[in-house]
Amino acid sequence: MADTVDFQLEGIDSLVGKLESITQDMKRKGGRSALRKAAQLVANKMKEGAQRIDDPETGRSIADNVALRWNGKLFKSSGDLGFRVGVLQGAVLKKGGDKSANAATPHWRLIEFGTSKMRADPFARKALADNVAEATNTFITEYEKAIDRAIKKAAKAAGGGVMSYAPIFAVCAADAGVTALLGVSPTRLYPFDDAPEGVAKPYAVWQLITGSPENYLAGRPDADSFTLQVDVYAATGSDARAVTAAISNAIELQAYVVRWGGESKDAETKLYRSSFDVDWIVLR
């Protein structure tokens, strides 16, 4: 098995754009939390692989020694965020070895890399290689959630008076194409973070990205401009695309799509997510 794993990040355009609007401290806090969840996924897969190898006749367990640790040395030397996933007490092979419960399991290295007399049966490298896409999606999804919360919190702290909103719910709830997919009373379109626990699928959420008054005439604005992000969640990719198309068709007379965020699968919920941004002008 190859010692390196190559992969490509996709679907991070919206994430990169939002990074510009938050402080470096927020970037690091949100990034560390998101990266930990992605690394935890790899650690869990590594434990599953180790359980397949562990000998039930002994008390020691490679799976129990799999651990996730913050890479403080990397952060101090480069400022980069990192977590290490590995096997505790697994560096030195001793003659005989202790086979009691909670004992060290250095023999994992022989299994992982093989010997001149034993074929390699990798489970550690395989945990990453087979789950790169899921771990990457987990990081992107969780980091974007953290950034959205930071932006929302900063906007609230800044004040700025009463904010009006584009009537996306009213428009979509009145559209037969949308309600055929998202239901009626209630229509499953919610403000960000307000979707109820266990909500039926598919459903959609929206959030305000920017909002400002337009056309100052004689010192008074006669319209407001909004940019909204809409996220659709569904059990299948085709359902996510269908809801996305229905919402964009319903609002096209009042707003227009300015960014398609693409489609991805949420590692935590296993739901397909389709994302897009719209610009909306509301006359006063």
Residue 254 maps to which CATH number? 3.30.2000.10
| DSSP letter, residue 252 | T
Measured over the CA atoms of residue 215, residue 216, residue 222 and residue 223, the dihedral's sign is: positive
d(CA 145, CA 193): 10
Residue 232's nearest CA partner among 214, 248, 217 is 248
Instruction: Count CB neighbours of 153 within 10 A.
Output: 12
Pair (181, 134) in one structural domain? no
195 in any annotated domain = yes
Residue 67 structural domain: 13-138
Task: Give the global pTM.
Answer: 0.52
Domain membership of residue 107 (yes or no) is yes
Same domain (yes/no): 127, 170 = no
Amino acid at the residue 58: T
Number of domains the chain is built from = 2
14 Cβ partners below 8 Å, 6+ apart?
144, 229, 259, 261, 275, 277
Q: Is residue 258 part of a domain?
A: yes
pLDDT above 60 (res 14): no
Question: Does the pLDDT value for residue 10 go beyond 60?
Answer: no
Identify whether 1 is part of a domain. Answer: no
Highest-scoring range by mean pLDDT, 65-74, 164-173, 190-199, 215-224: 65-74
Q: Which residues contact 236 (CB under 8 A, 6 or more apart)?
A: 272
- The pLDDT of residue 283 is 64
Cis preceding-peptide flag for 221 (omega within 30 of 0): no
